[in-house]
Every structure is written in structure tokens, then in C-alpha cells.
Amino acid sequence: MASDPTPFLDRVVTSIVRVPDATTPAQQQRAATIAQGLKGLRSMGIVTVRDLLAHTPRRYLDRSVPTDLAAIVPGEEVTVIAHVDTFTSRRAADGRMIVISVMLRDDRGGRLAVSLFTGSAYMARDWERLLRPGALGLFTGPTKMYRNMVQLTSPDWELLDEDTEYSNERIAQASDLITVYRGKGKVTSRAISHIVRDVVGQMPELDDADPIPAAVRKERNLVSLAQGYRLIHQPRNFAQKNAGQRRAKFEEAFILQAELARRRADIRSHKAIARHLRPGRLLDAFDDQLPFPLTSGQLEVGGTLAADIAGTTPMLRLLQGDVGAGKTVVALRAMLQVVDAGGQAALLAPTEVLAAQHAASIGSLMGDLARGGTLMAPEPATRVTLLTGSLGAAARKKALLDIASGQAGIVVGTHALLGDQVHFADLGLVVVDEQHRFGVDQRDALRARGETVPHTLVMTATPIPRTVAMTVFGDLEVSVLRGTPARSHDRATFVVDERRPRWMERTWQRLADEIRQGRRGFVVCPRIDPGEAVDSGEQDQPDQQSDIADEAPRDLHSVEQMVQYLGALPALAGVRIAALHGRMNGDEKDAIMAALAAGSIDVVVSTTVIEVGIDVPEATIMVVMDADRFGISQLHQLRGRVGRGQAPGICLLVSPVAPDSPAGKRIAAVAASDDGFELANVDVTLRREGDVLGQSQAGYASSLRSLRVIDDAQIIAQARADARAIVQNDPTLEGHRALAAAIAEMLAGRAEFIERA
Ligand code: ADP
Ligand code: MG
């Protein structure tokens, strides 16, 4: 075996773990456990040693802390540590099986009945010898109610206090910690721990396979790869376990950050064309006609962008700013700088509705300056061209021509802009709006055009905590635009308890009042129709949450049902109501929004498709049904749609959940603060671990295993600094083979995820 050239981690588990010889019943049973485990591993996706060692314990139990038996809920799979109180056995009615009843006890008077079955009297006697009163054991299995008692049926078990063949593997090593693995069918936790023990016993030092260079390990006080595996699978105490886990987290962060650093270095090794400011042209003309002064934040970020764009290193910048912070103006000014320098700028929006809206609002901000090539246009004017998938053939042809000829200085569009037929004369800047809807790969697709790469600005209204930004957007610099200049009024948000009919009555009354004053409203529902799943809109939702396990299932409001209900409500008689959701096509949606803006519709009942960007200044009221079904940042985005004009906005968050439930607290937090960044922090503390990135952030986030972006902020920052230093000195990672291999493996896993998604 020593001559096998396959690296240890790539060996097939079944080729190195043998089923032990057995003579006593206990040995036989143990051998059977291992044999069944080896047979079933593949069905759990475990083939190689690496796979096995990556299957880390689900829990670590301290054997000196017996389980509180009274707290066990029937119907669940449990793992308990407890002392045997009594042992009795009898023949089953058919005379073939022996039924064994073991009563467990804890020191608080709690009891748990265990039933075991065997066909062998010999085995039953052996069990009686082992499971004698007072013995301490670990039992894992399903529970149910039986004769007014919680019963554990046919559990997997082992002894914790005696050095017998039945003892837990850990006891022999004088450990206080019992590892519990996630099993599957006959591959029990115990089978896995036997197999892992065998493998770890054979494991050599894995220095050549360690993606973390020795110098980094020393600097950060991290154990080696092999030691990390030992400490995770066979810790003697919690301190050892923690040291193993810390290493695993660092490794994960390090590999991810190394890849991000590599990409960044790769992009920065390309050149961008420097687009210098040209005074006295389009940008200056634009500034001169702006109806408002720029805020200090806009000026500051604008200065940063202007300097980035004037350089030959491609800009890679993320601009975060709350809804209404005025990001569009900032981005537009950067685009105008590029146009002044002879280039073109593209603005990429996640949906057709948004692309159209962007084109319209850029058009109105620029006025005649957007009418390049027409008679009334002043000299420095350019053309703003919209390119979306739903353009007619003729319009599309014209748009493509404008883009290829360079007539269009500014091009606004959806994914259609990424199409092969789209050729820019000289693309100098790409602005991506609402990053959370775009994957890393789409970003790269745009960058990959031509010899020089365009500068890239990514904008998001979803405030992202710094560590999250570092993890998901590690290849981007981050700028933050603070404040909301245009909001002349406070926007009030209230929680409405749906269980109180009076409150609901007042809610609809309020909606009617607003409409009567010539204003418009939104009613948002989580579903399209009653039988349907949650609307996923045109793309993935950023953060649908479901941490409501503490609450009974209930019917959620749907767009269809709400349209009917509101239509029949006397309080809303005469109000014109329309539905809007992700199953409608782009034209239909545009038509509804246009009608709302024009005032021929008063209320739009919709799913979250209205979440980002759409601007209807007359919209003053939003009612969100089942508000507990939405995430904090999503609610904040949603209410950003109202109160954008002269009149103050109001947002009513309707929900039947208790105020002190997790969901209730989340809604209360949204009602209490109108600052997106403050909410982002609340969000992070309230959310469940691992949920921070949301499913649709199909960047690397999806591949995170043990890392928690918030809790592990420091580890991520350190790993990022170390990874950047290494990539800087060794851009091709020639001298860091193990790291390069680990990156390749991560990318392969990620590709798999994207295919599945
Ligand atoms: P967002 O950051 O959400 O994209 P926008 O760029 O759409 O915000 O700006 C929101 C509104 O604020 C727009 O109507 C815009 O014209 C206006 N606005 C932008 N900057 C200023 C400013 N400095 N003063 C007043 N209004 C502004
Ligand atoms: Mg915007």
C-alpha cells in the first residue's frame, strides 16, 4: 500500500478500510456496522478519503453532560447520553424475536424507554451484560409516543464508560467529546466514526497537499491540514475541536480569497483606456443644467470614479447606496466623462422594466443633451439608446447600428447587451445596476470583450456589510454613498396586526384616502395565485426567508385573491386596481406601470417584481401582506417605491405573527428605522447563520461550507490579506500547487452548483 502513488486524500475509502475480523458477538456486530457503512458511503456522496474527512461531525457531545430526557420531543431523531436504569427482555408473541426494554434515566428524574430487538439469544445475553444498570451509553435513533411514554426504537448505541468492544471509539483515547455524524440509513454515525478512525490512523502528514503555505500557518497560528483533520474528527476537548475548525474556516476563506485575488490580478493585468475629464463639454453642460446641487457624498464618490476612469488600470468598483441615495446621477456623470473622452458607456439593468425606466430617467435628466444627432441638440450632446430583448426587429437593428457606429454614447439594456451580436464601437465603462441580480460570471462576460477592458461600476441598493462584500465581491473596491437627498419627507412605516379586523379596516380606509387625494398605491403579496409557490419574479429573489418554523402553516395572500378581495371592498369602490407579477411578460408589466404612472390605474397589487428601481412619484402608500415572509432588506427595498415625490409616503406591514417572534422582530425593526445601512446590521444579527448571502447570490457564496461571513469577519480579513500577498508574488500560483489545486476543486464544485441552480 505504501507504494500506491495516489495521494492519500484521493484514495478510495473502501480500498484502505478493512472490515475487522470478529469472533465475539460484540465484534461481529461492530464488523457488520463497518461493512454496512462502507457499502453505503457512496450513496452519501463519499468516495475518497477527502470526501470522508470533509464529512465533519454534526455535533460534539460532552460525555460528562447527560441529556435532559424530559426535554425530548416524540417524533424526532435524537442522540442522548444517559445511564441505564433497568434491563428486561422477553420473547415476542411470535416466539422468534427477543424484545429488550431498557429504561434510561437522568439525574433530574427524567426517563426514556428504549426498545431493542434481536433474533439471537446469545446476542441478547451479551447486551444484558453490557447494558447493566448504571452503565453510561450513547443512543441514537427515532423517537415516538408509545403507551404514554416517549420511546426510542432500535437505536444505534454504544457504551461510554467502559473499555469493552462496544465502547465508543473516543473513550479509548481518553476524550471527553463524542462525535456525532450525519448518517443515512445503515450508514450510522457509529459506522462513520469507526471508518474515520481507521482512515485517520493511516493518515500521513499531508504537507504537500496543504493549500495554506507553512509561513501563513505559522504567522496565523494554524494547525496543519492533517492535524486539522485529526482535531475535527478526534478532539480530546473543545479547545482542540475549535483549533481544528478555525483552521478549516481559514482554509476555506483563503482559497476563496486567493481565487478572487487571482481574478483581480488577471483583470488588472489588462489595460483600460484612460478617459480623462474634458472640461467644457457634455459633463459640464449636464452639471450646468442639473436642477439640484450634488450632495457632498455624490461629489466625493464622483471624484473617486472620475479618478478611476482617468487611469489605465480597469476600475472595479461597487457603489452601495440606499434606495434614493442618488446613485443614478453619480453613475451618469461617470458615463458622461467617458463619452466626453470619445468612448461609450453601457448601463445594465436586471429587468426590462428597469432598463426602460433608467433610459427614461437618464433621458429626462439629460434633456436635449440626450438628443445627439438631431437638430435641436446642442453641440456636445450624445444619444441614449435602449436595447432590450423585447425590441421589435427594426428598432433592434437601429439600436445595434447606433451602438456599433458609436452614435450612441450611452446604451441602456438588460442581458440582451451581453449578446454576441452587440458590438460597441468603443466601450469604456460598464455600469451594472442592482448587483444582487447578477452573478460574477455575467460581470466577467462583459469585461471579456476586446483587448482593452472597460471600467466597471457595480451599483447596489442592498446595503451589504463589509465582510459580506469582501466575501462575495472580493474582487471589487467598495464605495458607499450615504444619505438620501431627494426625500423631502419622512416615510412612516407601521406594523398592522392582521388578527385585528379593526386594524385591517383602517388599513384599507387609509389606502382609499390616499387614492382620493389623487395618489397611487401598491399592495404587495408573496404569491401570484392561491395554489402557487412564492413568485420568483424574472430572476431569483434576493432573500426569501423562511425562519418561521415556530408558527403554524397558514395560507398566504396572493395577487389574484387580493385583487378580487379589494375589488369587492365597499371602502375601495371606484378605485382602479390592476395585478402585476413575474408571470407577465415585459410588455404587460411595462403597460401596467405606465398606467399607474399616468394615473389610469390607482392601485397595483403585485409580487416583489416592483422591488427595485421603479419610479412613480405619485405613489404614496404601500401595504405589504404577510410582511413576515419578506426579508429586512427586501422590505426596505419595497417601501423605497413610495414617497419618492412631493407627498410623504406610508408603508403598512401587515402580518398575523406575534410581535416577539423572530419574524415579528424583523418587521418591527423595519418599522423602527428607515436607514438601509442600520437595517443591514440588524438584519445580520437577526438572521440565521449562513443565510446572509441569500440563495440567489450565485457567486462563490453558495459554496461556503463552514465559514460564516459575519462571525468570521476577522478570519476572512486575514485570509484576504494573506491571499493577496501570495497572488501578488506568484500570480500563476506555480509555487503553490496545493492552493491552485484547491481553487480548481472549489470552482468545479461551484460550476456544479450553478448547473443545479
Ligand atoms: P438611487 O440611488 O435609488 O438610484 P436615484 O439616483 O434614482 O437614487 O435618485 C433618487 C431621486 O433623487 C431621483 O429623482 C434623483 O433625480 C434625485 N436626486 C439625485 N441626486 C439629488 C440631489 N443631489 N439633490 C436632490 N435630488 C437628487
Ligand atoms: Mg436606482
- What letter represents residue 435's amino acid? Q
**pLDDT above 80 for 61:** yes
The one-character DSSP state at 610 is G
Residues 663-701 have pLDDT tens digits of: 888 899 899 888 777 787 676 655 543 333 333 333 333
Highest mean pLDDT among 51-60, 370-379, 532-541: 51-60
Return the ligand number nearest the Cα of 482.
1
Residues 407-429 have pLDDT tens digits of: 999 999 987 787 778 899 999 99
3-state SS, residue 538? coil
- List, as ranges, residues with CB under 5 A of the ion ligand 2: 613
Return the ligand number nearest the Cα of 321.
1
Average pLDDT, stretch 491-507? 93
Which residue owns the Cα nearest ligand 1 atom 23?
Answer: 294
Q: Which three cell numbers stand for residue 242?
A: 475549535
Match domain 61-170 to its CATH number in 2.60.40.10, 3.40.50.9100, 2.40.50.140, 3.40.1260.10: 2.40.50.140
**pLDDT above 50 for 49:** yes
Ligand 2 centroid vs 650 CA: distance in angstroms?
Answer: 20
Which residue owns the Cα nearest ligand 1 atom 1?
Answer: 324
Ligand 1 centroid vs 337 CA: distance in angstroms?
Answer: 19
Asked if 535 and 607 count as a contact pair (C-beta separation under 8 A), the reply is yes
**pLDDT above 60 for 257:** yes
61-170 and 491-673: identical CATH topology: no
Closest C-alpha among 730, 601, 695 to residue 261: 730
Given this model, what pLDDT does residue 709 score? 60
Average pLDDT, stretch 588-608? 90
Residues 456-497 have pLDDT tens digits of: 898 887 666 666 666 666 667 888 888 777 665 667 999 999
Which residue owns the Cα nearest ligand 1 atom 9?
Answer: 326
In this structure, of 64-73, 269-278, 723-732, the range with the lowest mean pLDDT score is 64-73
Neighbours of 90 (CB within 10 A): 10
Ligand 1 centroid vs 535 CA: distance in angstroms?
Answer: 29
Ligand 2 centroid vs 460 CA: distance in angstroms?
Answer: 8
Ligand 2 centroid vs 452 CA: distance in angstroms?
Answer: 28
Ligand 2 centroid vs 620 CA: distance in angstroms?
Answer: 18
Closest C-alpha among 251, 68, 89 to residue 150: 68
* Burial of 94 from C-beta contacts in 10 A (0-12 / 13-18 / 19+): exposed
Asked if 570 and 498 count as a contact pair (C-beta separation under 8 A), the reply is no
Q: Which residues make Cβ contacts (< 8 Å) with residue 742, sequence separation at least 6?
A: 211, 251, 255
Return the ligand number nearest the Cα of 485.
1
d(CA 251, CA 222): 10
d(CA 598, CA 616): 9
* Burial of 300 from C-beta contacts in 10 A (0-12 / 13-18 / 19+): middle
Given this model, what pLDDT does residue 606 score? 93
Ligand 2 centroid vs 359 CA: distance in angstroms?
Answer: 12
Domain edges within the chain: 1-58+181-204, 61-170, 491-673
* Ligand 1 interacting residues, C-beta cut-off 6 A: 292, 294-295, 298, 321, 323-329, 461, 485-486
* Ligand 1 pocket, mutate which of 329, 358, 488 (most atoms under 8 A from CB): 329
* Ligand 1 pocket, mutate which of 322, 328, 357, 616 (most atoms under 8 A from CB): 328
Q: Which CATH architecture has domain 491-673?
A: 3-Layer(aba) Sandwich (3.40)
- Angle (CA) 525 526 528, round 5°: 80
**pLDDT above 50 for 643:** yes
3-state SS, residue 471? helix
Which residue owns the Cα nearest ligand 1 atom 27?
Answer: 486
Pick the more confident residue, 185 or 614: 185
Ligand 1 centroid vs 330 CA: distance in angstroms?
Answer: 9
In this structure, of 63-77, 374-388, 536-550, 581-595, the range with the lowest mean pLDDT score is 536-550
Task: Report the chain's mean pLDDT, rounded to a whole number.
Answer: 84
Given this model, what pLDDT does residue 695 score? 35
Neighbours of 3 (CB within 10 A): 4
Average pLDDT, stretch 397-409? 94
